[in-house]
Structure 1
């Protein structure tokens, strides 16, 4: 990420704010080792950290941002780096990068918010739990009746043959999945946006559900398939005490829907609404566990369980 900071800046206080963040959140002092073929996390009591300062023109900043993103050594904490690019009088660009093994999208917001508060000299309330507490709880909870019920739901939902999305393509699918691609951006009119929100309100659904129904309908139109699984990310922070923690709580839900030409869109939307609500109710079951339990035949040219994801950012 990058933040543009305008006005006078105390570089020493900025670096101190990050030191306080690292002390506050054990995830920022965590590194990873391999022991007997298993990944383990080690939490350091203290780590060396400094903010790199450089001077550059506005035109050079883009190149600095590109060069800033590079591989982390997972055995060395912190898995966070910060660089301050001074682009002019009282104008800076703060670049920050965290490895995904210790952070998710919510974490980014926490870091930015708490950094700002600490820089301003505010005192943050102490954290009652840390990420390791959540990790221990999750492992212990996997044997609970509640998690077994969630597992049963997902195994029932994914019973039978798992559909592979068969989209028409210009070229043969490569033997090994490649991740390069393109971005297509477009905008819909304000009128269309309001009508979508009205449809959601009229059907007792959400904008996410309406758009997921539309998206899976589009996939049905292209593929002709009437059994489609779409992945969707979920924050995975169902408890209030997890909301302010740095770490990876993100989970993936595989939502299975059955679009068909003989259904009206409103009827299909009600199905999507029901399937989405059920998935939310069972969101704590880890996606990786589901993939293992299903014992899927791995295909290096595809993702496991689903071939496409849908995400709505608001």
Structure 2
């Protein structure tokens, strides 16, 4: 990914630096956020004006890598305006509000995490950060949803099917929105959700 993206600067921690190894880091400036004294320590705390820097909504917000069908990682470039459009659409479709509690359980390396963070924060809702790996444990998810009174969560349909078979899922009565993506959602799974979690 570093070779493909060719970044000018890499922010990392000690674990990331060790995982990459010194031979990988020869072609990029790596700043260890845990040990380095940053050169920007004496700069103002406020962000610079993006217009003064020539930045627009067409500039990239992030690049996310996916193996795709070839098995070779490739970067999908996401502009700021695309994220804003997605967030505006989601708000119109699902009307999140300040009483909502959104579960953030998607690993940061997946683009779903972008809307889990930004949609929640833009609308003043509460964001509950799940412990890493909890998305693989349906029992822990049930307990987290009940304990934190989660109203909104994302599932790929295969994970949703597993979740719906978990003991106690019918007690997740705070759930008001389940957002599904990444796979086809079957009519039978939709019907099961409606039966077990009637809204």
TM-score (normalised: structure 1): 0.22
Looking at CA atoms only, which structure, 1 or 2, has the larger radius of gyration? 1
